[in-house]
Amino acid sequence: MATKTKKHQQLSKEVIRHLYYNKMLTLTELSGLGNKSLPMVTAIVNDLIEEGYVSESGLAPSTGGRRASTFLLNPEKQRFIVAVAMDQLVTQMVIYDLLNREHEPIQVLPLKLYEDEKALNKLISFIKNNISSTGIANKDLLGVGIGMPGFINSKKGVNHSFFNLNDGNTLADFISKELNLPVFIDNDSSLIAQAELKFGVGKGHKDVMVVNFGWGVGLGMIINGKLFKGHNGYAGEFSHIPLSKTNKLCSCGKRGCLEVETSLLVLVERAKAEMAMGATSRMESLFADTNKLAGDHLLNAAKNGDPLAVSILSDAAFLIGKGLSTLIHIMNPELIILGGRGAMAGKILMAPVQQAINEFCIPRLAEHTTILISEMAHMAELLGAASLVIENCEFN
């Protein structure tokens, strides 16, 4: 696309993005989504077909008249996206093609961000080695999208919570130089919300709150169909709403934060303490298996009906619901999605969250807010990281 005008390049990128998110569209649908004239869209699509990015894919269902041709991103176009999803303990990576098909199975790296001084070097080596093992050339990679926890300015490529660099480089630029690829970073909760909006149960909705329930409790907000990030990109720090009545110190340095009673790390410690005091639970044998994270053991135990696990998880979900009640009064969302690692527990979360909303939220607002469990589980952040590349990369 280097020989095209800037406007033509931008329109081409818009068409590619619409096809990426919607899989298959007619020219009329592309025209409506982009608010561009049909002749202009037709010319752009024809150019993209010539370049190999787009291919025709049969006819749309009949609506009574002549059936329109449909178009999709060319499955034979060998361009790929590196998606990396990080949380405080585990990093996952996958390489997608333009149809979001996995080129290789998801790779996993245990990586404790709070404790490991070499975490950044390990992250870069992890990405490098996985790319190298696929045999994909850098020229065929559109870029690397990385979701990570922390206060992140995605425009500047800076994470103020982790990986602070003192050499004048931004984090995104530093990783980009090491990988020799475009690199884009964003907050994990924002990317999970983006994935739910574009691919998940949030698709087609305008005002949505997406809870990232995991080692902390993050929030992604969709307002008028777009991701809302606030003035500096830090909106959604749900973990730090002061709802806890305990005097425990939060990781942020403050007291009373929601996180100190709802993070999976805290819930695991509570489970261990209650078992030490005589409570019986199958988690006692599960926690002995260190090949799996203790938080995942707790979630699986709750899903399988373990009374202690269910009780602990329900208490946390009720407090999350109390926090959501406050946000419902402010945002009046049409949909709340419970996502993140904690969504593995499934419908167990629904009752206590709904109970808290019933108790603390004005009925007129609560009755118009739907609550759903994410269907994307651990894939949400990876798909969000892939969409981060699609939104920011250059197609050439």
* Helix, strand counts (H, E) of the chain: 14, 15
Which residues are CB-neighbours of 50 under 8 A, at least 6 positions away?
A: none
Can you read off the two tokens belonging to residue 63?
Answer: 């609506």
Can you read off the two tokens belonging to residue 178?
Answer: 């090491």
CATH class of 80-191+381-392: alpha beta
Least confident span in 7-16, 60-69, 119-128: 60-69
Instruction: Give the whole-number percent of the chain exceeding pLDDT 70.
Output: 98
Ramachandran quadrant class, 203 (left: phi over 0; alpha: psi -120 to 50; beta: rest) = beta
- Where exactly are the structural domains of the chain? 6-73, 80-191+381-392, 202-375
Of 15, 7, 13, 2, the residue nearest 42 (C-alpha): 15
**90 in Cβ contact with 293 (< 8 Å):** yes
pLDDT-based confidence at residue 231 (cuts at 50, 70, 90): confident
On the question of pLDDT at 1 being above 60, the answer is no
Element (H, E) at 275: helix 264-276
Vertex 99 angle, CA 382 and 73, to 5°: 140
204-233: average pLDDT: 91
**217 in Cβ contact with 320 (< 8 Å):** yes
Element (H, E) at 214: none
Across the beta sheet with 208-213, the strand order is 226-228, 217-223, 208-213, 335-339, 370-373
Q: Do domains 6-73 and 202-375 have the same CATH topology?
A: no
267-283: average pLDDT: 94
CA distances, 208 to each of 74, 227, 367 (Å): 32, 9, 15
On the question of pLDDT at 104 being above 60, the answer is yes
Interstrand relation of 141-148 and 183-187 (parallel, antiparallel or unpaired): parallel
Distance from C-alpha of 288 to C-alpha of 280, rounded to nearest angstrom = 15
Chain mean pLDDT for the chain? 91
On the question of pLDDT at 106 being above 80, the answer is yes
Distance from C-alpha of 44 to C-alpha of 249, rounded to nearest angstrom = 56
**How much is the pLDDT for 3?**
56
CA 388 distance to own-chain centroid: 10
pLDDT-based confidence at residue 58 (cuts at 50, 70, 90): confident
Q: Which amino acid is at 370?
A: T
On the question of pLDDT at 388 being above 90, the answer is yes
50-64: average pLDDT: 84
> 202-375: which CATH architecture?
2-Layer Sandwich (3.30)
**How much is the pLDDT for 249?**
83
84-90: average pLDDT: 94
CB half-sphere exposure, 101, CA atoms < 13 A:
12
> 221-230 b/e with 16+ CB inside 10 Å = b?
bbeeeebbbe
Of 303, 315, 318, the residue nearest 267 (C-alpha): 315
**How much is the pLDDT for 2?**
46
Tell which wins on pLDDT, 224 or 291: 224
pLDDT-based confidence at residue 306 (cuts at 50, 70, 90): very high
CATH of domain 6-73: 1.10.10.10
Instruction: Give the whole-number percent of the chain exceeding pLDDT 90.
Output: 73
Of 216, 218, 170, 155, the residue nearest 191 (C-alpha): 218
On the question of pLDDT at 70 being above 60, the answer is yes
Distance from C-alpha of 142 to C-alpha of 81, rounded to nearest angstrom = 6
**336 in Cβ contact with 368 (< 8 Å):** no
Distance from C-alpha of 216 to C-alpha of 259, rounded to nearest angstrom = 6
On the question of pLDDT at 165 being above 90, the answer is no
11-32: average pLDDT: 93
